[in-house]
Amino acid sequence: MLNDDSANDMNELIVKPMKPRDVAAEADTVDNSTEANSSSAKSNVTGQTDTAPMDTMQPDTTHPDSVQDTPATDEQSINPREIRQDHEQRRQEQQQRIEDLDPELLIKLLHEMILIRRFEEKAAEAYTVGKIGGFCHLYIGQEAVCVGSISVLRPDDYVITSYRDHGHAISKGISPDEVMAELYGKRGGCSSGKGGSMHMFSRDVNFLGGHGIVGGQIPLATGVAFASKYRSEDRVVLCYFGEAAVNQGAFHESLNMAQLYKLPCIYICENNQYGMGTSLARAMSMSDVSNKACAYGMASEFVDGMDILAVRQTTERAVKRAREENLPTLIEVRTYRFMGHSMSDPGNYRTRAEIKKYQERDPIKLFTDNLKEKNIIDDARLKEIETNAREIAAQSVKFAETSPEPDAKELFTNIMK
């Protein structure tokens, strides 16, 4: 049986934008509590989802093939008292988890989240002045997901993800210098400047991308897990994707195969509740992603993606299941991106009330406050962590700007003939 905190971690969630519209209120959220049973892992999982139905849609001028929701309005605005109560409940839950972990590990996790946040801010600055071209999908707000989950892996385990991959690459061990240089399209990048924002890769640390096709990495992860089991390597695979990828056929085929062949793959759905500019409520008939595992008899869990320790605990259970029993797991991580879908997305489909609500759920703020309250860190140590993270991020920009352009012959390397 899973811990009760896994069921209660998320009671309500929506999302927020870069430049929100100033509307008075947002739609009531709808709580859908479901329970999923895994016949293979014999675990009960309760998932709670909240989505705000949108009544109107408008074209996304930056992405012609998509549609965007306009912010919903309702007579009932967000209740500040409920927000405070929710925040207090989650604060207490995280404090209980803190007591079970080594202080140095906790500080390392905080440093990594802050580093990714500062790195992404530098990337946004560089993109704004034209030093980074193409698409650029930032991870600001979702740092707890990759840091918490990857922290339980061994160095020889695999990670594969979608195009919002900067944070995952850094967490798996690619240096910020190499990630930033790749964003700049420079030779010093982890993909020699040929991949850009969406295609980070490093065989050295078993980071297998960065994939631009929605859901395209899911069958690849399944294949890697099959190879790991076939070779008796005792390695697990973490596969990350957004909730929009769940509607792809490849998702369902992969989960069916993983459970059928008992593969050590952990499918992590980073559900930030918007596929580009379209809300989850308008794109998915059953919004509880974790419950979809029931169709394949697969173990599943639902977890608060704004709590790094909740994510870590949940992933730890899944890794144990994969390593010891060769069984896959589907994890729905309810998270929240603070920025638009990409740097070109103004985020007009989200509201100011929504922003205010989620500012209270910033994973770095929540974790920092709890570590201070537990006397794990003080202001001086926090300042040291912050200064170090800023220096590393600034250094990555210098490295990228001074790194040479790729040689023309690189056009013909790493291709099949």
Q: What is the pLDDT of residues 59-100, one digit of tens each?
A: 233 333 333 444 444 333 556 677 677 778 888 899 989 999
Residue 71 lies in a domain: no
Evaluate if residue 158 carries a pLDDT over 90: yes
Residue 328 inside a domain? The answer is yes
pLDDT tier at 272, thresholds 50, 70, 90: confident
pLDDT grade, residue 349 (50/70/90)? confident
Note whether residue 414 is domain-resident.
Answer: no
Compute the mean pLDDT over every residue in the chain, rounded to the nearest whole number.
81
Query: Are the beta carbons of 198 and 137 closer than 8 angstroms?
Result: yes
In a domain, residue 413? The reply is: no
Task: Kindly give, in sequence order, each residue whose CB lies less than 8 Å from that of residue 111, ignoring residues fewer than 6 positions away.
Answer: 385, 388, 389
Q: Provide the percentage of residues in the chain whose pLDDT is more than 90.
A: 60
Distances in whole angstroms, Cα of residue 241 to Cα of each of 160, 230, 349 = 9, 25, 22
pLDDT exceeding 70 applies to what percent of the chain?
79
User: Which pTM does this prediction carry?
Assistant: 0.80
Does any domain span residue 59? no
Write out the residue range of the structural domain in which residue 110 sits.
4-23+34-49+88-403
| pLDDT band at residue 332 using 50, 70 and 90 as cut-offs | very high
Return the CATH number at 392: 3.40.50.970
Q: Give the closest residue to 220 by CA, choosing from 230, 233, 211.
A: 211
Best CA proximity match to 246, nearest among 202, 296, 312: 296
Tell me, what's the pLDDT at 7?
Answer: 36
Contacts with 322 (C-beta within 8 Å, 6 or more apart), sequence order: 236, 264, 265, 266, 328, 329
Cα–chain center distance at 127 = 21
Answer yes or no: are the C-beta atoms of 241 and 217 closer than 8 Å.
Answer: yes
Q: Name the strands in the sheet holding 265-271, side by side, starting at the edge strand that comes first in the sequence.
A: 158-160, 237-242, 265-271, 329-334, 299-304
Q: Are residues 69 and 279 in contact, defined by beta-carbon separation less than 8 angstroms?
A: yes
* Per-residue pLDDT at 38 exceeds 50: no
Question: How much is the pLDDT for 361?
Answer: 86
pLDDT score recorded for residue 91: 84
> 357-369 in b/e burial notation, b at 16+ Cβ within 10 A?
bbeebbbbebbbe
Number of structural domains the chain divides into: 1
Domain contains 82: no
Most confidently predicted of 247-251, 346-350, 384-388: 384-388
Instruction: Identify the pLDDT of residue 413.
Output: 87
Q: For residue 410, is it within any domain?
A: no
pLDDT for 117 beyond 60: yes
Q: How confident is the model at residue 410 (pLDDT cuts 50, 70, 90)?
A: confident
Per-residue confidence at 237, pLDDT binned at 50, 70, 90? very high
Q: For 300-323, write each residue's pLDDT tens digit.
A: 999 999 999 999 999 999 999 999
Would you say residue 174 lies in a domain? yes
360: pLDDT confidence band, cut at 50, 70 and 90?
A: confident
What pLDDT digit, counting tens, does each position of 211-229 carry?
989 999 999 999 999 999 9
